[in-house]
Structure 1
């Protein structure tokens, strides 16, 4: 139950609704207890009047006694029916308050989890897979809702009913009450023992469900690769294996529950047997009436369903606790990147790295070693190097997806950590190396980074990214809905839409992380020419492995193994005959071979 304490703030938030629901529980159970008293009086009345009716056998008064007796029984029957109707009405009100509260809590919890996900750093998403994240915000929250809804409702109902029934029973005959409830301690022992088993098995089930969700999500995301390699059969076999493991764990829990319910029914049956036997002895001794036995049996039957539901409620609580534990693991995770407070001061665009070193926390790979450079506001700087040299790390650090291990990054001569994260990123246009497009219209994908999408701005951004003509060729133009991750577009089209998405923001700092690798040379030149106009007097940072993309930069930095080994403008670097010259010569040779 310790993990479920996290939900107390939500229960407190809706305390008045829950209190009203508890009132409805009390009223409904009150109307549930009264029929037993009516049945007792009716039973005793029948017992007494049958004897009286026989005494007047042969007399004219016998018919009058029969009529009075019949009307009285009809009143008793109508009273029982009325109590049942009233109880049903308040049971409805009970569900409409407590179950509705559980839906409110489910809504709040999902929103809180999603908002927390948004604040977590990029390193968190590198450590955790998407399927697991989705399962915790969907399946786990649903199981928690079953705790704050049905489990709490039936627990309150059971406690209130037990108190009312046992109090009433004890006031009639304490001895009979003790014997009737004698199996309950044994039931408590069984519940205590089964609880731990259910809790452990519930955690195992949720863990496997996350594995199944992750496998399914990855399969559908990579369906193109799956089909290209003809691995459908292998994928089906793997999915079947994952499903089989989930079934095995679920069946294990079902077996425990299957043992639980018959045990509860057996103990409830023992209560009825003891009630009849001990009640008969007490009637013989003149301590109670036969109607009290009937009354006690009604009470025992009223307690049977709560007894049976104890197993189900226990399962709900344990599964809810297991799911809440998984949710708490993420909710208690603090983001690595803490937002600063500076957001009033406009960002002009000066960028400086001072002796920056960075090691990826998950892999331990040192990506940058003592890197230093300065880009004045309005400068066009570029980084080039082989794969794995640390180029993309500079873009990630500049967008503050990670924080440096040593040194500092300055924006307008202020430490990047001082800035409010939203303010910093709002002033920056970032085109990542791995393009991601949403399953939405092209227009909405381009306008993703702005609050209000204006058609003319979308068109202008598309033209500057040299993708306008391609989009217009689609049957629905800019209103064309692209598939998941932009699967319906080519690699070059996706890159250019991503560039348009950054351009439309009109940022003061633009970071392009190898975003022209999938476009041809002619289109690349057109895009760079347009960007030169769009980014005039604004800071531009281009990261590339192609010399053609960066040769017009004000300053070029050559990176190798996380260290800047050369820097200067294009012609000066060629004259040095170093790493940059080798890259340039190699790419020229490759272009000549392609043209031939």
Structure 2
């Protein structure tokens, strides 16, 4: 059941309950009491037969029933405290594990976060943690209580007849071998189940998020099959664990029963030769029978332990991921907003082709620079490098002459406001969404930001105004309203660098016009980077940068680029849009 790897994992898992040493001590005392009461039952039965039924001792007529009742009362009280305290300790540990995992997810490097995927990360918290919780709440209690119980009963059996007890213990190595083999099979199947649950959660998340696309493209059967295949694989692995566990328990019990039958036969012969008193014979058989239930529980808990260890392995794999690096950690007294890219190259993980190659560009402070190009040209990659979601493979990015790698990461991101086509809102009030990450702002500042973003005109008409709950990802608002909330958030942040990532590409003309007005106001006195989709959004830019396959191929203002009759001019004359 416990090889070296399992012991190491379980030890690390148990470290989460160590802060509760006092309650652990009480629980252990309760478990010791429970273990001591098992042989006490057999001892009372021995005296009941020998003293009350055979010797007819009148003093025992009252004493023995009282002793028997006392044993069960003490055992019941101890079981109550052990269960309540162990569960409380386990739930506090689970709370700590979930907090550590959530903290880790917030600080994972962007690339690692993307490699896991949302579904797999959700599965780790929603599925893996409860599996580990069972190993924390039930497993260690059963392991300690039933191991102590078996030891106490064997000690009593040795006291009555060490010869018979050694005969009974012959099956021990066989039982240990069976449990070890079953453990390895269940661990492997449990790991496969972890993977299946991650895939199942991923499928579910995709289907719920993309339900409109599924319907419009008639892909219901395709998605149903993908979900069914993953669910079937999960069922197969679950049944593998169940079958091994179901065979493991009765096989151990059959071996124990065979040993018991042999011992009972020999004990009966010894009793016939007056080597046992009737009470000793009954006590011995009772004590042997009492070992059956803890043996069964120890064998059954093996499934819980193996599932818990597979879950713990998955949890600690995540927790052991390195956080975002933060070399240097400098801050600057003031930010002008000049950005310089010097010979930047970047490769995405597991990619052989550069997303950016020998890219150099200067973005002056306080001016608007537009990035245009077809999909895969490197526009969004450039933004990811500015925000340090990724770090360049080679080259330097300078902010006001300072390498951004030398700046404290949080400080750098404080200087940047991002408004993208894909607006992210939270299931909270309008006010909380505008002030997201900046809860220190008062209501008047939130209202001023909403007015500047042309959002106040619809906010004040909402049922509860700023306190209106907007639903998951703002689904109770229109696309244009959601976009204006995002721009109000950028106004409130008041960062010197502003990035518009195709912020108006999915809007109708009226919404776009209102948002364009808000964006023009927001651009004032800021360094602005616009990833362009519609030509109307970039014609007034101070500098337009044309990108192809990770390289800068043209730059200049709108009129100068048209005169060059190059890539920009060709696309403009063809009336094409720059799709990301």
Fold match, TM over 0.5? yes
CA change 1:353–1:539 in 2 (3 A) is same
Distance 1:232 1:44 in 2: 75
CA change 1:339–1:454 in 2 (3 A) is farther
Q: Is the 8 A contact 1:359 1:367 kept in 2?
A: yes
Distance 1:380 1:159 in 2: 72
User: In the alignment, what sits opposite 1:10?
Assistant: 16
Query: Out of 37, 58, 63, which is 1:31 matched to?
Result: 37
Distance 2:481 2:351 in 1: 32
Q: Is the 8 A contact 1:32 1:84 kept in 2?
A: no
User: In the alignment, what sits opposite 2:489?
Assistant: 501
1:546-575 deviation per Cα after TM superposition (whole angstroms, max 9, x unaligned): 232122223222222222222223333333
User: In the alignment, what sits opposite 1:55?
Assistant: none
Q: Which moved more, 1:200-209 or 1:114-123?
A: 200-209
CA change 1:399–1:405 in 2 (3 A) is same
Q: Which moved more, 1:28-37 or 1:104-113?
A: 28-37
User: In the alignment, what sits opposite 1:392?
Assistant: 380
User: In the alignment, what sits opposite 2:296?
Assistant: 308
Query: Out of 240, 252, 266, which is 2:254 matched to?
Result: 266
1:474-519 deviation per Cα after TM superposition (whole angstroms, max 9, x unaligned): 4454444334333444444333332222222111111111112123
CA RMSD of aligned residues (A): 2.5
Distance 1:283 1:298 in 2: 15
User: In the alignment, what sits opposite 2:559?
Assistant: 571
CA change 1:237–1:583 in 2 (3 A) is closer
CA change 1:339–1:77 in 2 (3 A) is farther
Q: Is the 8 A contact 2:377 2:550 kept in 1?
A: yes
Q: Is the 8 A contact 1:431 1:502 kept in 2?
A: yes
* 1:424 correspondence with 2:436: no
Distance 2:533 2:14 in 1: 54
Map of 1:120-269 to 2, 5 A cutoff?
120-269=108-257
Query: Out of 51, 56, 62, which is 1:45 matched to?
Result: 51
Shift in Å, 1:142: 0.8
Map of 1:282-431 to 2, 5 A cutoff?
282-335=270-323, 337-338=325-326, 340-343=328-331, 345-431=333-419
Q: Is the 8 A contact 1:399 1:430 kept in 2?
A: no
Distance 2:294 2:488 in 1: 62
User: In the alignment, what sits opposite 1:536?
Assistant: 524
Distance 2:507 2:217 in 1: 26
Distance 2:510 2:471 in 1: 27
CA change 1:231–1:502 in 2 (3 A) is same
Distance 1:577 1:251 in 2: 67
Map of 1:52-63 to 2, 5 A cutoff?
none
SS in 2 for 1:430: strand
CA change 1:154–1:523 in 2 (3 A) is closer
Q: Is the 8 A contact 1:464 1:531 kept in 2?
A: no
Map of 1:514-529 to 2, 5 A cutoff?
514-520=502-508, 523-524=511-512, 526-529=514-517
1:279-319 deviation per Cα after TM superposition (whole angstroms, max 9, x unaligned): 22333344331211111122122211111012221111111
Distance 1:537 1:267 in 2: 83
Distance 1:317 1:237 in 2: 33
Distance 2:461 2:42 in 1: 79
SS in 1 for 2:506: coil
SS in 1 for 2:329: coil
TM-score by length of 1: 0.89
Query: Out of 74, 90, 97, which is 1:86 matched to?
Result: 74
Shift in Å, 1:340: 4.1
Distance 1:205 1:391 in 2: 39
Q: Which moved more, 1:339-348 or 1:207-216?
A: 339-348
Distance 2:507 2:48 in 1: 91
User: In the alignment, what sits opposite 2:548?
Assistant: 560
Q: Is the 8 A contact 1:268 1:300 kept in 2?
A: no
Shift in Å, 1:42: 1.0
Shift in Å, 1:397: 0.9
Distance 2:507 2:420 in 1: 15
Q: Is the 8 A contact 1:386 1:560 kept in 2?
A: yes
Shift in Å, 1:520: 4.7
Q: Is the 8 A contact 1:466 1:523 kept in 2?
A: no
Distance 2:221 2:382 in 1: 42
Q: Which runs of 5+ in 2 are unaligned?
A: 1-5
Distance 1:77 1:446 in 2: 73
User: Computing the radius of gyration over CA atoms, which structure comes out larger, 1 or 2?
Assistant: 1
CA change 1:345–1:283 in 2 (3 A) is farther
Q: Which moved more, 1:301-310 or 1:473-482?
A: 473-482
Distance 2:331 2:386 in 1: 17
Distance 2:250 2:515 in 1: 74
Distance 2:521 2:227 in 1: 52
Distance 2:339 2:309 in 1: 48
1:445-487 deviation per Cα after TM superposition (whole angstroms, max 9, x unaligned): 2222312353333333333333433444544544443343334
CA change 1:313–1:440 in 2 (3 A) is same
TM-score by length of 2: 0.91
Q: Which moved more, 1:571-580 or 1:164-173?
A: 571-580
SS in 2 for 1:138: helix
CA change 1:364–1:487 in 2 (3 A) is farther
CA change 1:344–1:112 in 2 (3 A) is farther
Q: Which moved more, 1:394-403 or 1:540-549?
A: 540-549
Q: Is the 8 A contact 2:51 2:60 kept in 1?
A: no
Count of residue pairs the alignment pairs up: 571
Distance 2:567 2:396 in 1: 27
1:512-535 deviation per Cα after TM superposition (whole angstroms, max 9, x unaligned): 111121235565455444444444
1:14-35 deviation per Cα after TM superposition (whole angstroms, max 9, x unaligned): 3443233222211222233222
CA change 1:144–1:448 in 2 (3 A) is same
Q: Which moved more, 1:171-180 or 1:314-323?
A: 171-180
